[in-house]
Structure 1
Amino acid sequence: MAIVAWVLMLPYVPEDAVIFNMPWYEHAVRTGPIAVFAAPWSNYTPPYLYVLAALAPLHAILGAFAAVKLAAVLGTVLLVAACRQLLHSLDVPRAGPIACAVAALPSVALNAGALAQADAWVTAPVVMALAAAVDRRHRAMLAWCGIALSIKLQALLIAPFVLGLLIARRVPLRWWPVAPAATLAMLAPAWLLGWPLGDLLTIYARQGGTFDDLSRNAPNVWMVAQALGLRDPSLAGLALAAAAGAGATLVARMSADAARLTGPVLLRYALLAPLLTAGLLPRMHERYFFAADVIALILMAVEPTRRTAAIAAAVQAGSTLAIVGYLASDGLWAALGGLLMIGATVMVARDLWPAAAANDNPLPLRPLPA
Structure 2
Amino acid sequence: MTLSATVLAHAALWPFRAEDVDTFLVPWLDHIRAAGLIGAFATPFSNYTPPYLYLLALITPLGAVLTDLTLLKLLSVLGTIALSGAMWRLLTALDAPSPKRAAALALMLPSTLLNAPLLAQCDAMWAAACVMALAMAVEHRHASMLAWFGLAIAFKLQAAFFGPFVVALLLNRRVGFRLWLIAPATAFIALLPAWAAGWPIVDLLTIYVRQTSHFNLLSLNAPNPWIIIQALPGIQDLPMHALGMAIAIAGSVVYIAWLASRRVAPMPILPAALLAPLLVVSTLPRMHERYFFLADILAFALAMTMRSRASWSIAILCQAGSTLAILGYVADTQALSMLGAVAMIVATYRVTKLVTRPVDGGSAETHATIGCGTATRSVPTSGKPLSVNA
Q: Same fold (TM over 0.5)?
A: yes
Task: Flag the 1:41–1:140 CA change in 2: closer, same or farther, 3 A.
Answer: same
Q: Return the letter of the residue paired with 1:212.
A: N
Matches within 5 A, 1:253-332: 253-260=258-265, 265-332=268-335
| Alignment equivalent of 1:123, drawn from 122, 127, 134 | 127
Q: Return the letter of the residue paired with 1:40.
A: P
| Alignment equivalent of 1:172, drawn from 172, 176, 188 | 176
* Alpha-carbon distance in structure 2 between the residues aligned to 1:227 and 1:84: 41
Residue aligning to 1:73: 77
Work out whether 1:201 is the aligned partner of 2:208: no
Residue aligning to 2:61: 57
* Alpha-carbon distance in structure 2 between the residues aligned to 1:63 and 1:107: 24
Q: Return the letter of the residue paired with 1:238.
A: L
Kept after mapping to 2: 8 A contact 1:212/1:233: no
Q: Return the letter of the residue paired with 1:306.
A: R
Residue aligning to 2:187: 183
Matches within 5 A, 1:28-39: 28-39=32-43
For normalisation by structure 1, the TM-score amounts to 0.93
Work out whether 1:238 is the aligned partner of 2:243: yes
* Alpha-carbon distance in structure 2 between the residues aligned to 1:46 and 1:31: 15
Residue aligning to 1:146: 150
Structure 2 gap ranges (5+): 359-390
Kept after mapping to 1: 8 A contact 2:97/2:305: no
TM-fit CA distance, 1:65? 1.6
Residue aligning to 1:360: none
* Alpha-carbon distance in structure 1 between the residues aligned to 2:59 and 2:237: 43
Runs of 4+ in structure 1 deviating by more than 4 angstroms, as ranges, are 259-262
* Alpha-carbon distance in structure 1 between the residues aligned to 2:88 and 2:45: 35
TM-fit CA distance, 1:354? 3.3
Residue aligning to 2:365: none
Kept after mapping to 2: 8 A contact 1:227/1:332: no
* Alpha-carbon distance in structure 1 between the residues aligned to 2:24 and 2:317: 32
Indicate the structure with greater helix content.
1
Number of matched residues? Answer: 353
* Alpha-carbon distance in structure 2 between the residues aligned to 1:172 and 1:278: 29
Of 29-38 and 74-83, the range deviating more from structure 2:
29-38
Work out whether 1:104 is the aligned partner of 2:71: no
Work out whether 1:94 is the aligned partner of 2:94: no
* Alpha-carbon distance in structure 2 between the residues aligned to 1:2 and 1:39: 39
TM-fit CA distance, 1:258? 3.0
TM-fit CA distance, 1:207? 2.5
Structure 1 gap ranges (5+): 356-370
Q: Return the letter of the residue paired with 2:308.
A: T
* Alpha-carbon distance in structure 1 between the residues aligned to 2:238 and 2:190: 35
Secondary structure of 1:257's counterpart equals coil
* Alpha-carbon distance in structure 2 between the residues aligned to 1:270 and 1:335: 25
Residue aligning to 1:359: none
For normalisation by structure 2, the TM-score amounts to 0.88
User: Cα RMSD (Å) of the superposition?
Assistant: 1.3
* Alpha-carbon distance in structure 1 between the residues aligned to 2:237 and 2:217: 8
Secondary structure of 1:227's counterpart equals coil
